[in-house]
Amino acid sequence: MDRRKFFGAAMASTAAAGMVAAKDAKAQDAVARAARGMPSPKIRDVSVIECAPQGVRLTVVKVTTDQPGLYGYGCATYTQRADLVKPAVEKYIRPFLIGKPADRIEDTWQMLYNSSYWRNAADLNNAMSGVDQALWDIKGRQAGLPVYQLLGGKAREAIDTYGHASGSEIPEAIDAAKKYIAQGFRHVRIQVGVPGMAGYGSRAGGTRIPALHNAPVFEREGAKRRALALFEAARKELGPEIELLHDAHERYTPSEAVQLCKDLEQYRLFFLEDPLSPEDIMWFPNIRNQTSTPLAMGELFNSPHEWTPLIKDRLIDYMRMHISQMGGLTPARKVAAFGEIFNVRTAFHGPGDVSPIGHMAMTHLNLSITNFGIQEYSEMNDATREIFHGVPEMKNGYLWANDKPGWGMEIDEAAAAKHPFNRTDPMNGGWGEVRLPDGQIVKQ
């Protein structure tokens, strides 16, 4: 390679990195000048930033105050119905909040929660979550402290995580798990495709199984047998020390879920996720009374009426709520404290359809609580890092937060504009249908 070209490219890369660092430093300087000891900041504007740097539609709310340089970001991502969140923020929440104090987080959350009268709608919960997290970001910037300090300080140094290992065939899934283990992960979720059908968490090949329709097809008993075969092979190949997780993704009937949990006992799972759908949570006592397999549940919950009975009766081991679906950091920290009393640990939902702001909010909460269990980890590509500066850093299976004020993050809105939502998707971000062989729809 031409030495001049090599050094020229290196200098250009260094200059670009310097420009990003200078921009972030300028933003931090503005924060430092912004507000300590000054009167209560008022909300001057509430806006929405949309982008899809990894093909998943992310929504972030930005709350700007009347004090120069004082603003905050919050995750409002609801990728399956993303187009509903922006108007919810702009047409309903923004007019309601303009001129109100930015430092009364609890009061603002309660106002928003009650203002629609009909509560716990997924789109409004996500919109509220964006505002709530942004106000916590503002509070941290105002105080000159990372949010975890406002929550009581660190209870640990970093956040233990798990990665997603999958494959269309069992050896492929196990090889993917080995790659995570080689990177230092101590926990791995494993999923495998089921030949001829639409499984969850992995692609599958093979001839399509017989069905009375042309839609994607799923057959429960075949999927269950495949999962058991996967774990038998995984324990032989990976050994007893690695912690293994699996997602049933609410696709089984309650009686089938009971049997699956019992059959999986021998493989000593760290947890089985979503063995039931939210509509079937009254079946959890049946599972708990018949099996020792640890249970995780909650990513589809958006109401306290769903998670409260499972926690208070110790029917689950890990709460899996989605931070924007449940309404933000304010309810998440309350539920975490509630779970501590009953020794139910956290395993908050952290897939690619949580923005890096949401991942950072969960990281700060996880740092500060004593009943932390595990955190789902999703890798972020270069385009995501170009937009979101200061994302949690992954080292040897642990996530680390930076110590800058608030979330310690900035968003490059010009970079976000280069990765717009896909408007040509016929499902517009939604999930398609999956059916049993006889044509009955399957929950996803």
The residues that bridge with 217 in the sheet, in sequence order, are 435
Q: Is residue 22 part of a domain?
A: no
Q: Is residue 375 part of a domain?
A: yes
Across residues 95-118, what is the average pLDDT?
A: 96
Q: Is residue 305 part of a domain?
A: yes
Across residues 99-118, what is the average pLDDT?
A: 96
CATH at 181? 3.20.20.120
Q: Is residue 210 part of a domain?
A: yes
Q: Which residue has tokens 């324990």?
A: 235
Q: Is residue 12 part of a domain?
A: no
Q: Is residue 387 part of a domain?
A: yes
Query: Tens of pLDDT along 178-236?
Result: 999 999 999 999 999 999 998 887 777 789 999 999 999 999 999 999 999 999 999 99
Q: Provide the phi-psi class of 325: left if phi over 0, else alpha when psi is between -120 and 50, else beta.
A: alpha
Q: Which residue has tokens 């990665």?
A: 163
Domain total in the chain:
1
Query: Tens of pLDDT along 284-318?
Result: 999 999 999 999 999 999 999 999 999 999 999 99
- Using CA atoms of 233, 235, 238, 239 in order, give the dihedral in degrees to the nearest 10: -150
Q: According to the model, what pLDDT value does residue 429 have?
A: 85
Q: Is-contact 72 134, C-beta < 8 A?
A: yes
**Which string of b and e fits 353-372 if b means at least 16 CB within 10 Å?**
bbbbbbbbbbbbbbbbbebb
Q: Read off the pLDDT band of 425 (50, 70, 90).
A: confident
Calculate ∠ Cα 378-49-45, nearest 5°: 135
Strands (E), 168-258: 187-192, 243-247
Mean pLDDT of the chain: 93
Question: What Å distances lie between residue 270 and 160, 295, 372, 395, CA to CA?
Answer: 13, 9, 14, 21
Query: Tens of pLDDT along 374-424?
Result: 999 999 999 999 999 999 999 999 999 999 999 999 999 999 999 999 988
| Structural domain boundaries enclosing 261 | 150-407
Q: Provide the phi-psi class of 9: left if phi over 0, else alpha when psi is between -120 and 50, else beta.
A: alpha
| Run of H or E including 384 | helix 382-387
Q: Which residues contact 266 (CB under 8 A, 6 or more apart)?
A: none
Distance CA 146, CA 325 (A): 23
Across residues 347-373, what is the average pLDDT?
A: 97
| Residue 81: exposure state from Cβ atoms within 10 A (0-12, 13-18, ≥19) | middle
**Which residues are identified as catalytic?**
200, 249
Q: Read off the pLDDT band of 333 (50, 70, 90).
A: very high
The residues that bridge with 43 in the sheet, in sequence order, are 65
Q: Is residue 40 part of a domain?
A: no
State yes or no: pLDDT of 17 exceeds 90: no
Residue percentage of the chain with pLDDT more than 70: 92
Distance CA 389, CA 411 (A): 6
Q: Is residue 19 part of a domain?
A: no
Query: Tens of pLDDT along 26-78?
Result: 666 655 555 455 689 999 999 999 999 999 999 999 999 999 999 999 999 99
Q: Read off the pLDDT band of 432 (50, 70, 90).
A: confident
Tell me the DSSP string of 318-378: EE---TTTTTSHHHHHHHHHHHHHHTPEE----STTS-HHHHHHHHHHHHH-SSB--EE--
Q: According to the model, what pLDDT value does residue 35 have?
A: 46
Across residues 138-161, what is the average pLDDT?
A: 98
Q: Read off the pLDDT band of 14 (50, 70, 90).
A: low
